[in-house]
Amino acid sequence: MIATDIDGVIVDWFGNFLNFANLIMGTNYQYENMHDHDFSTNFNISREIIIILDRIRSCQYGLVKLPIIKGALRAIEKLREKYIIVIITSRRDEFKEETSIWRDMYLPNIPLFYSNGANNPYAGGERRQSKEEIANDIGASYLIEDNPNEFENWKSKNIEPICYAQPWNLGVTNYKRYNWDQILKYLL
């Protein structure tokens, strides 16, 4: 069984937010320079402003219309021939409805679990487990994830973290970083 994250792995929330924030703020930040998973650090603005910007962004694009990361859906389709696929996301409760609609559109019949976000101030919810705990409970062998904080203090020997390569996880050195083509080569 393979567990996979959504944002930064299947869905390009980060690119959509970056373009929107650049437009609103008149800035020209580049995707490849987004070296922190927390965009308030990349933009040098407060988290409150990030949340407000994202609410405005959400009015226009929501979560259902966000761009899909190149190769993600084709790769998951291929992986489904050999593995059971599940989604573990730390999107907050207020985004559950949109996330279910998105799942039904793009990855129907794939189970969806909600976790804490490790050191992710924008994510998670009450009474949730960590991604690692959920993956353990459901018996996943791999967890595909872009948030480098999820890999810190990793305890499970049964689950192998697959770091989906993004500019904000360049600092991950104890795990190999993969794009979707490389994941397919590794797991098939």
- The residue range among 19-27, 42-50, 110-118, 143-151 that interacts with Mg ion, by the rule CB under 5 A, is 143-151
Q: By CB under 5 A, is residue 5 in contact with Mg ion?
A: yes
**173: buried, middle or exposed (CB in 10 Å: 19+, 13-18, 0-12)?**
exposed
Closest contact distance (angstroms) between CB of 79 and Mg ion is 18
In the complex, minimum distance from the CB of residue 150 to Mg ion, in angstroms, rounded to a whole number: 8
Return the residue of 8, 117, 124, 161 that touches Mg ion, per CB under 5 A.
Answer: 8
Burial of 55 (0-12, 13-18, 19+ CB in 10 A): exposed
User: In whole angstroms, what separates CA 168 from the centre of its chain?
Assistant: 12
Contact between 7 and Mg ion (CB under 5 A)?
Answer: yes
- Is 7 considered catalytic here? yes
Nearer to Mg ion, 5 or 132 (CB): 5
**Does 150 contact Mg ion by CB under 5 A?**
no
Which is closer to Mg ion, CB of 7 or CB of 12?
A: 7
Separation between Cα atoms, residue 42 and residue 36, nearest integer Å: 6
Select from 146, 148, 162, 183 the one that contacts Mg ion (CB under 5 A): 146
| C-beta closer to Mg ion: residue 14 or 43 | 14
User: DSSP string spanning 19-51?
Assistant: HHHHHHHT----GGG---SSHHHHHTS-HHHHH
CB of 167 to Mg ion, least distance (A): 13
What residues contact residue 77 under an 8 Å CB cut-off, 6+ apart? none
Q: How far apart are the C-alpha atoms of 66 and 102, rounded to whole Å?
A: 9
- Under the binding rule (CB under 5 A), the answer on residue 161 touching Mg ion is no
Query: What does the alpha-carbon distance between residue 148 and residue 129 come to, in Å, rounded to a whole number?
Result: 18
Using CB under 5 A as the binding criterion, the count of chain residues that bind Mg ion stands at 4
- Which parts of this chain interact with Mg ion (CB under 5 A)? 5, 7-8, 146
**Catalytic positions, please?**
5, 7
